[in-house]
Amino acid sequence: MPQAGKGPLDGIRIVEFAGIGPGPFCGMMLADHGAEVIRIDRASGSRGGSQPVTSADVLARGRKSIAIDLKSAQGVALARKIAASADGIIEGFRPGVMERLGLGPEELLADNPKLVYGRMTGWGQTGPYAPYAGHDINYIALAGALAHFGRAGGKPTPPINLVGDFGGGGMMLAFGMVSALLHVAKGGEGQVIDAAMTDGTAVLMSMLHGMKNMGVWSEDLGVNMLDTGAHFYDTYETADGKFVSIGSIEPQFYAELRARAGLAEDADFDAQHDRSQWGALKDKLTALFKTRTRAEWDALMEHSDVCYAPVLTMSEAAAHPHNQARQTFVEVGGHVQPAPAPRYSGSATATPQPAPMPGDQTDDILSALGIGADEIGTLRAAGTVA
């Protein structure tokens, strides 16, 4: 049974081949929830891409790191030995890279038939786009999501890289890893998980596909209830140049908004769902919200059923009383960052450890595999490990 303070994945070992973005996010999720995650870094100390190796890297927290030269036969053999001791591996290279290294599913599942082999890509392991480069903005564009983020009359606006890289990518892979690990725990065999950000993003759009199928969602940008088309589901600027959010969809919540905003007697607002009136009502709310500061609107709207919240920056969110009461953010290694989520009643997670530098635990990991100090010294002298 998992021990309190270690998380429900205590006892699970995951090997992560270092990368950037969604793969590390998956590794962070698994580590946050108790898995031992061993990150195989390049012996050169670089993970590639533009993301630096630093202990401030939130996505890399909670790991152990071993630095291996995967271009050497000794390094590949060592990586296979580590993977053979693991319950799962995660990698985010282009299709075919792991196979060319001699670390593909055929080799690693032969070494360890119970292994869960997680693969994170943008386009997937197959399909016409599979061999080519891309980024979140491209994946969510092809999946039919990006076209629906933005305001009427404007162009599609990417929601940073939250949808493809993290919601449809790393989080989806983490779910797949845990699902396949449960399959193994029930007596099944290991398998390969093909997690494509295009597929995952499409799944995130399921409700909207359903609404379109029912005829209640237009593919035109910014004209629907949830995409800033409606006056009662949008952000508004306040007198001090800050912003608040309103999501008063249900009639009782809309009535509360009207009451608190002084609009109960304004008959124009009776037409909540008359789309022909949304533009004019939005203009009224735009002018209204500019009459008070955000703090003044907080005092009027917070702790009610308006469905209201101030629009906070990352720094502001960490200081907000609600987030502080729930300890939504923690300090790790001197850096404020999100705490592990969700919460468990019987297998609570521990505060994560700071991200290691490449090779910080090389000796410890090799020793745990039964490799003696002399051999470790030989591997290091040869440049196989660092």
Q: Which residues are part of the catalytic machinery?
A: 135, 165
Q: What would the two tokens of residue 372 be? A: 């003696």
Distances in Å between the Cα of 172 and the Cα atoms of 18, 27, 228 are: 18, 12, 27
Residues 63/16, Cβ–Cβ less than 8 Å: yes
CB 198 within 8 A of CB 122: yes
Dump the DSSP string for 222-284: T-STTTT-STTEEEEE-TTS-EEEEE--SHHHHHHHHHHHT-TT-GGGG-TT-GGGHHHHHHH
Among the listed residues 354, 243, 259, 257, the one whose alpha carbon sits nearest the alpha carbon of residue 292: 243
Among 329, 323, 262, 272, residue whose Cα is nearest residue 297: 262
Cα→Cα distances 311→53, 226, 294, Å? 31, 17, 9
Continuous segment of H or E residues that includes residue 209: helix 206-213
Structure-token pair, residue 355: 């991200």
What is the helix, strand, coil percentage profile of the chain, to 5? 40, 15, 45
Helix (H) or strand (E) holding 329: strand 329-332
Assign residue 124 a region: left if phi > 0, alpha if psi is -120 to 50, beta otherwise? Answer: left
Q: Are 126 and 159 in contact (CB under 8 A)?
A: no
End-to-end CA distance of the chain: 35
d(CA 289, CA 301) in angstroms, rounded, equals 12
